Structure 1
Amino acid sequence: MKDLHIQSNQFELPQQFETLNKLCQCFKDQEFFVIGATARDMLSIALGIDLSTRTTRDLDISIAVESWDSFMKVQELLINSGFEKDSIRKQRFYYKYFELDVVPFGKLSEDGAKIFWPPEASPEMTVRGFESVLKECVNVKVDDADIEFKIPTTAGLFVTKLDAWIDRGLEKDNDMDDMMYLVDNFYLPNCTEPVYTEVFEAVEDSDMFISGAYMLAMDASLLLSDEEKAYYKDKIETELTKQEASLLIQKSMKSSKKDYDTVYRAWELFVKRLVK
């Protein structure tokens, strides 16, 4: 899926559409990417599946910049275009009281993995995989208006959510909820030949949840560098060795409402296919 056409009335909140419209006007000469729950909902619309029950009340975007000085210019552009800067959260802005989080990535990151907001080097945020993920995006056009932007593919969004969960898994369940939603809904809309044959051979009982995890790994393996795949492999396998004590497994079971064996097998096959 390379292109997605949606209608403005398909947005959960009018403020989402209004804020995106303003961002498109603001960033006419600079690409930005919608991430987070809004991207999740747009992918759901594209795949024709039910929207997640976890609703969103904000908008998250990511933008590639050369340096923190470049990001300060982005910030000035937003403020001059009518966005209000949050006095505490460095990534947060408001447009008519609607929350907007802007996450920079690119050459300002440490080895392409983390960003440290100046001047205190805080907060620290993971942007690992962003450059790889966002090379392969879905172009979104709203109505017939001049509103066009990009979102990650389903596997790309899964990777950004996995990164976020590794960073803050103890703090909240939102990222795991979204990952499990993607796993649970990915198989049927995407299972065509020759994909079906490989999945059928790998997943002995043809469980759709496990098959969804396997297929996400197939797509993610095409996006990520060998170094990035090795990083996720290490993180996931470390959790799998903990078995029932694994926070990854426990949170996955809670979010997916699946049993231990199903969740364990899904992650086991995910990492196995990711580095194949």
Structure 2
Amino acid sequence: MSYKIDSRKLSHPLLKPILRELDYYFKDLDVHFFVIGATARDIVMEIHNEKSGRLTHDLDIAIAINDWNQYAEIEKGIVVLENFKKDANQKQRFIYKGSFQLDIVPFGNIMREDDKIFWPPDEQVAMSVLGFPEAKNDIIVVKIDEEFEINIISLAGIFILKIVAWKDRYLRGNKDADDIGFILINYLNIYEEKAIDKYDEIYETDNFSTITAGAKLLGDDLFHILKINIKTKEAITKIIKDQYDKAEDSELINQILETNRVIHFEELIESLSILIKKLDK
């Protein structure tokens, strides 16, 4: 699926130039990257004529690599470029034009059996990349100003990566839960045309809610992405089910409610139940 966007609608003025430079760089290496995180979310919202209401000050991309030697060569090549330098503290981070943060998340053959990567040389820093191989198969192509194309992850793919990120770092803040709630709130509006094709299931229900209706669409899309890997599907389902079973004591539910006041507890619980049932097909 492909779309077009005017760069004036991007959430930061440096996004077009950095994406253009990355497009040139990775094409020369014959390496494909896709945009993840907040920038992907904002672009998905914009191409569907919605607003995220948030200003993005960084860019996250993911790349599939064969080994850490390949990543080392990619890193060396990036820091040679005029506008990039390596962040001294974060393994995955680069700085563009002095202040704009670029995080490059590698996955692929470097993944261990637990779906984590361990950064060389000391392997003391670990990062879960569960769901990345599956999410990369649900990509949206976006042409910027009719000049060049980028691949961005779908909103369902963002949800998968956010669930995994939340599990890893929820004790350090509620940002991931905030984003998960944001997706639940907006999913029906974004994919309203798709909902029409499932009108009876989505709309002809008692106690209709845009949150739970969106969860039905999201659940179908999650299943479509994850069905190619039963292990990953079960891992994502378990994260959601563990929180659903905790109900009022759920860390995820409470963080979503704290950061998204338009969601009510009952519809959030119902939404998680819907996702679990859809994924358990």
Give the TM interval when normalised to the shorter protein: over 0.9
- One-letter identity of the residue aligned with 1:80: V
Check if 1:267 corresponds to 2:272. Answer: yes
2:213 to 206, 211, 214: 211
1:235 to 229, 233, 239: 239
In structure 2, runs of 5+ residues without a counterpart are: none
Shift of 1:250: 0.4
User: Which position in structure 1 is the counterpart of 2:125?
Assistant: 123
> Could you say what secondary structure the match of 2:14 adopts?
helix
Mean Cα deviation higher: 60-69 or 262-271 = 262-271
User: Which position in structure 1 is the counterpart of 2:59?
Assistant: 59
Between the two proteins, what is the percent identity of the paired residues? 33
**In structure 1, how many angstroms separate the alpha carbons of the residues matched to 2:127 and 2:73?**
20
**In structure 2, how many angstroms separate the alpha carbons of the residues matched to 1:266 and 1:255?**
17
**In structure 1, how many angstroms separate the alpha carbons of the residues matched to 2:47 and 2:183?**
13
TM-score, reference length from structure 1 = 0.93
> Could you say what secondary structure the match of 2:171 adopts?
coil
Check if 1:223 corresponds to 2:225. Answer: yes
2:39/2:60 contact within 8 Å kept: yes
Check if 1:250 corresponds to 2:251. Answer: no
2:219/2:278 contact within 8 Å kept: yes
**In structure 1, how many angstroms separate the alpha carbons of the residues matched to 2:70 and 2:116?**
17
User: Aligned pair in 2 of structure 1 residues 196, 256: CA closer, same or farther (>3 Å)?
Assistant: farther
In structure 1, runs of 5+ residues without a counterpart are: none
**In structure 1, how many angstroms separate the alpha carbons of the residues matched to 2:173 and 2:20?**
30
User: Aligned pair in 2 of structure 1 residues 221, 75: CA closer, same or farther (>3 Å)?
Assistant: same
> Could you say what secondary structure the match of 1:84 adopts?
strand
User: Which position in structure 2 is the counterpart of 1:143?
Assistant: 145
Shift of 1:255: 2.2
Shift of 1:144: 2.0
**In structure 2, how many angstroms separate the alpha carbons of the residues matched to 1:234 and 1:13?**
36
Q: How does 1:1-276 map to 2 (within 5 A)?
A: 2-28=1-27, 29-51=30-52, 53-82=53-82, 83-97=84-98, 98-111=100-113, 113-145=115-147, 147-191=148-192, 192-200=195-203, 204-224=206-226, 225-257=229-261, 258-276=263-281
Shift of 1:112: 6.9
Shift of 1:102: 0.5
Shift of 1:108: 0.3
Shift of 1:88: 1.5
**In structure 2, how many angstroms separate the alpha carbons of the residues matched to 1:144 and 1:239?**
44
> Could you say what secondary structure the match of 1:169 adopts?
helix
Structure 1, residues 111-160: CA drift from partner, whole Å, max 9, x if none? 37111111222321111111111112001111122x22111111111111
**In structure 2, how many angstroms separate the alpha carbons of the residues matched to 1:6 and 1:269?**
33
1:31/1:149 contact within 8 Å kept: no
1:253/1:260 contact within 8 Å kept: yes
> Could you say what secondary structure the match of 1:242 adopts?
helix
2:12/2:55 contact within 8 Å kept: no
1:106/1:112 contact within 8 Å kept: no
Aligned length in residues: 272
**In structure 2, how many angstroms separate the alpha carbons of the residues matched to 1:190 and 1:144?**
24
Superposed CA RMSD: 1.5
2:160/2:236 contact within 8 Å kept: no
- One-letter identity of the residue aligned with 1:248: L
**In structure 1, how many angstroms separate the alpha carbons of the residues matched to 2:166 and 2:66?**
26
**In structure 2, how many angstroms separate the alpha carbons of the residues matched to 1:144 and 1:159?**
30
2:244/2:250 contact within 8 Å kept: yes
1:113/1:126 contact within 8 Å kept: yes
